[in-house]
Structure 1
Amino acid sequence: MNCDKKDLLLYAVTDRAWLGDKTLSWQVEESLKGGATMIQLREKHLDHEHFLKEAKEIKELCRKYQVPFLINDDVDLAVEVDADGVHVGQHDMEAGEVRKKIGPNRILGVSAQTVEQALLAQQAGADYLGVGAVFPTGTKDDADAVSIQTLGEICRTVSIPVVAIGGIGQHNVMQLAGSGICGIAVVSAIYAQPDIQNAASTLHALAKEMVER
């Protein structure tokens, strides 16, 4: 499965911090109804059995809405559940090794903070890059800051699509216009909102406008 630029426009990354009395499946479906174009299932503290069960549920939802489904970090689980792809960070399995494990037909996303990291990821077989944190973020304690200038340099240097991540919301998404990215990856801007579907819909429209500027 190739990674289409349009699939990266509004890339929703899950976080169970705001579930309350709702299920993750319900939250994800709300975001899909609102226009999320890609879903990444991110679980840092779930055991394998529950992660697998949840991954199967979310995968079915993504199939229903015809949106790519990716797993964060857990390469073996991504293969086991037959996800559309996997996203790895700089401290996870090396991108070339991931590509060998997942084969040529799954999407491989790699986090990058520098032009050097971006080029290495592209050479290793990454299909797209997640670059950030472009703004201060509360959802990732160890997120290094990446200036919008560096973001632009990365976009100009690589030939694969780039999505920005980190602290992006309705209030600042337009600051990324002209950087060369093809979309935004968000967590709390969708899943921490009282009306997830409406938040996703608004962000989808803003991201589209930002990319086209």
Structure 2
Amino acid sequence: MNRSVADLLNLYLVTTDGLPADELVSSVEEAVRGGVTLVQLREKNTSGKDFFAKAIKLKQMLEEYQVPLVINDRVDIALAVGAAGIHLGQEDIPADAVRSFIPKEMMLGVSVKNVEQALEAERAGADYLGIGAMFATSSKNDAELLEAGALEQIIETVSLPAVAIGGINLENIDQLAGKGLAGVAVISAIHRAANRTEQAKLMKERFNLTNKQEAERR
């Protein structure tokens, strides 16, 4: 897989926590058929054994579509299943420590909400950033919204590709056009859609079209 990290971030799907493995795989596959370019498996309240089993099943399905799997938080599971990447939050193992022992080719993503955190992630060897929360979200009740202008400051300051995350849907995705983002990370807007394939397709088309239009205006 020779696509750049920025290309892989275009439509970044974060999974819903706690779904049975078969339901999880089926739900994600529907979204992938609509154009999802990367999947992050996020399981905050699942045992290590079940997390591992889900990761194996999900990775097998995603390999058929050549879509990479990133594991949230659990470096051990990412290594055990041979995931394409690991994504860390600010309360997880420090990114520089993780970078020091994961394979060179494994992607490292870090969630940030300000310039200081973004610069630290860049120094630590991160490959991409997740910036948020952009909008209020039901997927993470304790998510802290970005301060006004923070997204633009981070993009201007750090050279890493980035996705915006947090409450992104078809009604507000246009607000992210022309910000210099590589893509958008989505949870509920796709997982809760009646037709996940169509929803993923619409969100990807909308983001890429509005981004292109904004670039042409400048």
Pairwise TM-score range, normalised by the shorter structure: over 0.9
Identity of aligned residues (%): 44
**What TM-score does the superposition give when structure 2 sets the normalisation length?**
0.92
User: What is the 5 A alignment of 1:14-93?
Assistant: 14-16=15-17, 23-93=23-93
CA distance in 2, matches of 1:3, 1:41: 20
Q: Any idea what SS the aligned residue of 1:28 has?
A: helix
The structural deviation recorded for 1:62 is 1.6
8 Å Cα contact 1:3/1:127 also seen in 2: no
The structural deviation recorded for 1:168 is 0.3
Q: Any idea what SS the aligned residue of 2:141 has?
A: coil
**What TM-score does the superposition give when structure 1 sets the normalisation length?**
0.94
Matched residue type, 1:158: V
Q: Deviations over 1:92-134 (max 9, x none)?
A: 1100011123121100000000001000000100000000001
> Which range moved further: 2-11 or 169-178?
2-11
Q: Which residue number corresponds to residue 8 of structure 2? A: 7
CA distance in 1, matches of 2:103, 2:42: 21
CA distance in 1, matches of 2:68, 2:147: 28
CA distance in 1, matches of 2:196, 2:205: 14
8 Å Cα contact 2:113/2:132 also seen in 1: yes
User: What is the 5 A alignment of 1:1-213?
Assistant: 3-16=4-17, 23-147=23-147, 149-212=149-212, 213=214
Q: Deviations over 1:34-87 (max 9, x none)?
A: 110100000011111111111011111221111111000001110011100000
8 Å Cα contact 1:95/1:110 also seen in 2: yes
Q: Deviations over 1:113-160 (max 9, x none)?
A: 000100000010000000000111111122111145210110111111
CA distance in 1, matches of 2:69, 2:4: 11
Matched residue type, 1:15: T
Matched residue type, 2:85: G
The structural deviation recorded for 1:176 is 0.9
The structural deviation recorded for 1:194 is 1.3
Note the residue ranges of structure 1 that are not aligned, 5 or more in a row.
Answer: none
Q: Any idea what SS the aligned residue of 2:49 has?
A: helix
Q: Any idea what SS the aligned residue of 1:23 has?
A: helix
8 Å Cα contact 1:148/1:179 also seen in 2: no
> Which range moved further: 104-113 or 142-151?
142-151
Matched residue type, 2:9: L
CA distance in 2, matches of 1:59, 1:148: 37
The structural deviation recorded for 1:206 is 1.1
8 Å Cα contact 2:5/2:127 also seen in 1: no
The structural deviation recorded for 1:178 is 1.7
CA distance in 2, matches of 1:210, 1:63: 30
8 Å Cα contact 2:71/2:86 also seen in 1: yes
Distance 1:116 1:16, change over 3 A: closer
8 Å Cα contact 1:182/1:211 also seen in 2: no
